[in-house]
Amino acid sequence: MKNLYLPFVAVLMVIALPSQAQRGLKLGAFGIPQISAMYNMDDASLDEDLYTMEPYVGMAGGLEVGYNFNEYIGVRLNTIFSQEGGRYSFKRTIEERTMVTTRLNYFKLPLMIGFNSFNYQGTKYSFMIYAGVSANFLTGAETYNDDPSLDIAVPESFKSFPTTKETYAPIYYSAVVDLGYQIVLGEQEKVSLIFALRGEMGLTDSEDKDETFFIYQNGSVDEIEYWDTVGGPSRNAVTNAINIGLRVGVLYSFGD
């Protein structure tokens, strides 16, 4: 039983260690060129002639506030505006494919705790790894394709037909990991450059599977689930947002 407490004792010892240049308040800004995808198991099971997932290239950026308890342990809160989404293609003719793109804009609030390797005297860089959970708020959505013949007007019998934004969840949650290096600049060691690989995986559905519309026909009204009809084959599986990018930023330390 005593061995079970060893990891907790080790963490407490690390937090209690004397600190040097890394302790204290941190403020920063960063940008993230990223590749995004939206993974749905139902889509992935389709023949590649009907559905082939394609990468979507987007951009994210924001501000960072954090606090380091010592040379090793710190917390970070980001505020991010992210352009992400997904793309897929399907075979239109024997030789041609149509590309369908969904662009989603989010305001994100990832909260992370992490580890920085010790900066030995004279060393200007340190390894860093941070992980946490992000709340992601949808601010805009758009779906388009490269085949104008597919842009068909919604029939008049369809009522309360949802916009693209309404078919996606207003908020989804994700797991976030940063893995990279921090390079200290100057003799005062107050400013650092950050280079980190950021990976993000949706923990909840980014689509709103409860979204419906109505069809008025022959005096009757039918309520239709959007993703089961407009989406083609069954789309009841969870759609997980995936983002992988390179975070490049600058961080200013107010502490010791």
Reported as a single tens digit per residue, the pLDDT across 118-141 is 655 556 788 999 999 999 999 999
Helix, strand or coil, per DSSP, at residue 1? coil
Query: How many Cβ atoms sit within 10 Å of the Cβ of residue 140?
Result: 12
Quote the CA–CA distance of 31 and 59 in Å, as a whole number.
Answer: 7
Position 90 pLDDT exceeds 70: yes
Could you state, in order of their start, the residue ranges of all structural domains in the chain? 31-253
pLDDT of amino acid 7:
44
Which whole-number Å values give the CA distances from 37 to 13, 31, 252, in the listed order?
A: 41, 19, 33
Residue with tokens 């951009």: 59
The whole-angstrom distance between residue 9's C-alpha and the CA centroid of its chain comes to 33
The pLDDT, as a whole number, for residue 18 is 40
Question: For the segment 171-224, what is each residue's pLDDT rounded down to a tens digit?
Answer: 999 999 999 999 888 777 789 999 999 999 999 999 998 888 888 888 788 888
The pLDDT score that the predictor gives to residue 249 is: 96
Q: What CATH class has 31-253?
A: mainly beta
**DSSP line for 188-208:** S--EEEEEEEEEEEESS-SB-
Contacts of 251 (CB under 8 A, 6+ apart): 26, 27, 28, 64, 182, 191, 192, 193, 194
Q: Which of 79, 67, 82 is nearest to 114 (CA)?
A: 67
* The pLDDT of residue 44: 79
Look at residue 19 and tell me whether its pLDDT is greater than 50: no
**Which residues share a beta bridge with 244?**
35, 199
For 247, the token pair is 């975070």
Amino acid 22: pLDDT: 61
Output the six-digit token pair for 100.
């369908």
pLDDT above 60 for 51: yes
**Mean pLDDT (whole number) for 32-40:** 94
For residue 19, report the phi and psi dihedrals to the nearest 5 degrees. Answer: -115, 160
